[in-house]
Structure 1
Amino acid sequence: MENTLISVAGENKAHKEIPGNPSVATSSRHQLNTRANGEPLRVLSEEDWKFWIENGYIVIRQAVPKEQVQVLADFLWEYENKDPKDPETWYKPTLPMKMTELNNTGMVEIYNQQYLWDNRQFPRVHQAFADIWGMEELWVTIDRANLNFPIRPGHEYKGFIHWDYDPETKPQNVQGVLALADQTDENMGGFQCIPELFRTYDTWKLTQPEDRNHFKPDTTGFTPTKVKMEAGDLLIFNSLQPHGIRVNNSKDKVRIAQYISMMPAEQDNEEMRQWRIRSWQEKMVPEGYAFPGDPLHREKQHPIAQLSELGEKLLGLRKW
């Protein structure tokens, strides 16, 4: 097992001023899978594939066993020192974010704990992303989790729609979220997106002013799709898909999720590879526009996560 350490220079600096996860490239040199030669799918069905191409997102049902995601969900409550049965413990002050629309949305600054890695290295998760990319040689994002509570006075936020990457750059990238608890109630928050805008972007942009915000579209005339998920379901979406978190208007239901995505491994980018290894070894967090980190450095108290052979490859510790 390699133990080489480097400075933080390997982190993707493009994400200092824009959203997106700095643990991987902003856009891949590889194109997303088109299945031009009709190659078989691993996890997605043909119906899933058609939906993915037309709508820019897909939900893989039971990508991870319910009992496995429950372990992480339970841990997150403990990590945040909150009681799932006592709403009075849910609304402690949180660190302000540069990306202000994420304030009060319940981001949990934890990135390399064992249970997160258990889900990242679960084979069915990897195989789903392999279908999307048309290749198995992938790196996983080093990303966090979410405990999204019902809004109450003093703890409000607005539902929002945005892009993490400027769609004008046509990024070859995908993002993903794993449900750690059922989120089938549309009122309890969760993922929302606008497939119609995803499909019609090239004509829609012609109707927009030249100085429009390239990360926050004017959604007038569009109705966001509220995607329902059950614990263990994995949602993958194209980075050209306008998306966001919807407001949790429920009385007492909490949306719990882990952010997971994969991109083609950049095995010739040694600086990035070593930064990823160091992040795992030293529990370093990605730093960026949407990633404030944990000022208490709580995660550094945990042991280094144990990786399977697949996990080592997804990190970059072992080469494909």
Structure 2
Amino acid sequence: MVEATTSLGIEILHAYWAHQLAPSSTTPLPQDIEKTLLAGLRLNVLETVRYLHHQRPSFAQFEAWILECNDGALPEASLDRLRRALAGETVGAEVGKLDDVEGLSADDLAHWHEHGYVILRNAISPEAAERAELAIYDFLGMAREDPESWYSPSLGPSIWVPLLRHPALVANRQSPRIHKAHAQLWGREDLWVTIDQGGLNPPERQNWPFPGPHLHWDATLAEPHHLELQGILYLADVAEDQGAFSCVPGFHRTLKEWLKSVPADQPISDHARRTLTMKPIAAHRGDMIIWHHLLPHGSSPNRAQRPRVAQYMSLRPTRYAYTEAWKN
């Protein structure tokens, strides 16, 4: 039985909780609604799924855990915005009015349409970027100026850094320029920012080969193809050979025809890695690269002298078109 009231007042949260605990006997939420729900509650998707599957909490315990993840409370204004959006009402940008915020220029938008990615210059201030950069080093127990510390066991065989809610990273998610640029690309302002992790890609050396991710898609390639955005925020200057984010520019426009050329007996991703060449994208501290999720992309080996340090985030509207079938 669905509970009539919840401590957070988000009725659909009960349906999400119930499906995670009993997927075979309950109906899942639409994918876009589920992502909006979790982003609106400032939850990381993987963190939440792991908690529910491992702890199997009661609904009351789940709501209490959500508040614990948010330092004990969520602003009522944020909860009200989420309730109204989930009810189908039009809501504005989380960070306030965007009319006077400088976003992407006409040249930026032309580059986006042609290449499927754009660099949002000065998405955050250099000072804000450096605070987040230092938070990542601190979280990993590393020193920015000590190369030997960059290979601490705390990083492991991965470039991902599971730091989610440090105040410096939280502040970056509220950048008006980031919200404005995404609103321009989506054509709407009711956007929800994901609670994603950081990244540190140190220079390759004998006992630390680049672990990937190599060329891949995080999206289904099944038709129809729809818009979705992904983003990476550089927290320090990144040169082309410094483990830069890489992609195949313009591929979102040719994907449909390219798929017809993939041999039937070969996995799509394997064929792509053999036949496509990615371009590394250099940018400065505080710049953000936003790309169409249908671009093949990945990180690259760091052959420079300093790590690439980054923060990942995406912004999506409350409801959007997507394809449920998975093909990759």
TM-score range, shorter chain: 0.5 to 0.7
Q: Which residue of the other structure, out of 132, 135, 140, is the alignment partner of 1:75?
A: 135
Match runs of 1:29-178 below 5 Å:
43-93=103-153, 103-104=157-158, 106-157=159-210, 160-169=214-223, 170-178=225-233
Displacement of 1:216 after TM fit? Answer: 5.0
The answer to whether the 8 Å contact 2:193/2:314 transfers is yes
CA deviation map 1:96-144 (0-9, x unaligned)? 7xxxxxx43x211011221111000111111111011111101001100
Which has the greater radius of gyration?
A: 2
CA deviation map 1:243-266 (0-9, x unaligned)? 00010012x311011001100025
Q: Which residue of 2 aligns with 1:226?
A: 280
Secondary structure in 2 aligned to 1:202? helix
Q: Which residue of 2 aligns with 1:258?
A: 311
Runs of at least 5 residues in structure 1 that lack an aligned partner in the other structure: 15-20, 24-39, 97-102, 268-320
Relative contact order (alpha carbons < 8 A, sep ≥ 6): 1 or 2 greater?
1
Match runs of 1:197-212 below 5 Å:
197-212=251-266
Change in 2 beyond 3 A, CA 1:241/1:47: same
What letter is aligned with 2:188?
Answer: M
Change in 2 beyond 3 A, CA 1:212/1:111: farther
The answer to whether the 8 Å contact 2:241/2:280 transfers is no
Secondary structure in 1 aligned to 2:300? strand
More helix by share: 2
Normalised by the size of structure 1, how large is the TM-score? 0.66
The answer to whether the 8 Å contact 2:116/2:251 transfers is no
Normalised by the size of structure 2, how large is the TM-score? 0.65
Runs of at least 5 residues in structure 2 that lack an aligned partner in the other structure: 1-6, 21-27, 32-43, 47-99, 321-328
Change in 2 beyond 3 A, CA 1:127/1:196: closer
Query: In 1, Cα distance between the equivalents of 2:250 and 2:175?
Result: 32
The answer to whether the 8 Å contact 2:219/2:294 transfers is yes
Q: Which residue of 2 aligns with 1:288?
A: none
Change in 2 beyond 3 A, CA 1:4/1:151: farther
Query: In 1, Cα distance between the equivalents of 2:184 and 2:45?
Result: 23
Give the fraction of aligned pairs with identical amino acids, expressed as a percent: 32
Query: In 1, Cα distance between the equivalents of 2:122 and 2:270?
Result: 32
CA deviation map 1:44-99 (0-9, x unaligned)? 11111111111110001001111111111111111110111222212123577xxx
Consecutive aligned runs of 4 or more in structure 1 exceeding 4 Å deviation: 2-8, 10-14, 214-217
Query: In 2, Cα distance between the equivalents of 1:253 and 1:133?
Result: 35
Secondary structure in 1 aligned to 2:272? coil
Instruction: Count the aligned residue pairs.
Output: 235
What letter is aligned with 2:135?
Answer: F
Secondary structure in 1 aligned to 2:310? strand
Change in 2 beyond 3 A, CA 1:85/1:219: same
The answer to whether the 8 Å contact 2:201/2:243 transfers is yes
Displacement of 1:155 after TM fit? Answer: 1.3
